[in-house]
A and B are shown apart, each in its own frame.
Chain A
Amino acid sequence: MIDKRRAGAAEAVADVFDGATVMIGGFGEAGSPIELIHALIDQGATNLTVVNNNTGSGEVGLAALIQAGRVAKMICSYPRTMNSTVFPKLYRSGATKLELVPQGTLAERIRAGGAGIPAFYTPTSVGTPLEEGKERRTFGDRDYVLEHGLVADFALIKGRVADRLGNVLYNKTARNFGPVMAMAGKVTVVQAARIVPAGELDPECIVTPGIFVDRLVEIPDPAHESELVAAGVSYP
Chain B
Amino acid sequence: MTAAPDTGETVGLDRDGMARRVALDIPDGSVVNLGIGIPERITKYVPAGRELIYHTENGLLGMGPAPAPGSGDPELINAGKRQVTAIPGACYFHHADSFAMIRGGHIDLCVLGALQVSERGDIANWSTGEADAIPAVGGAMDLVAGVSAIWVVTQHCTKTGDPKLVERCTYPLTGPRVVQRIYTDLAVIDVTPHGFQLVELSPGVSFEYVQQRTAARLHPIPDGQATPAGG
CB distance from A33 to the nearest CB of B (A): 12
B173 touches A30 (CB 8 A): no
Given the complex of chains A and B, what is the CA–CA distance between A125 and B135 in angstroms? 14
For the residues of B in contact with A, the DSSP-based class is loop
Residues in A whose Cβ lies below 8 Å from that of B132: 92
Over the window 77-93 of chain B, the binary record of Cβ atoms lying under 8 Å from chain A Cβ atoms (1 yes, 0 no) is 10001000010000011
A178 touches B173 (CB 8 A): no
Given the complex of chains A and B, what is the CA–CA distance between A130 and B146 in angstroms? 16
B136 interface hit (Cβ, 8 Å): yes
Given the complex of chains A and B, what is the CA–CA distance between A111 and B56 in angstroms? 19
B59 touches A77 (CB 8 A): no
A107 touches B135 (CB 8 A): no
- Chain B interface residue count, Cβ-Cβ cutoff 8 angstroms: 40
A138 interface hit (Cβ, 8 Å): no
Given the interface contacts A79-B136, A111-B96, does A128 sit within 8 Å of B75 by beta carbon? no
A95 interface hit (Cβ, 8 Å): no
B99 interface hit (Cβ, 8 Å): yes
Query: Which of B137-145, B157-165, B208-216 is the interface stretch?
Result: B137-145
Given the complex of chains A and B, what is the CA–CA distance between A180 and B73 in angstroms? 23
Contact partner of B99 among A87, A108, A224, CB < 8 A? A108
Interface of A with B (CB < 8 Å)?
Answer: 27-31, 53, 77-82, 87-88, 91-92, 98, 100-108, 110-111, 122-130, 170-180, 207, 224-227
Interface of B with A (CB < 8 Å)?
Answer: 56-60, 73-77, 81, 86, 92-96, 98-99, 102-103, 122, 127, 132, 134-142, 145-146, 172-176
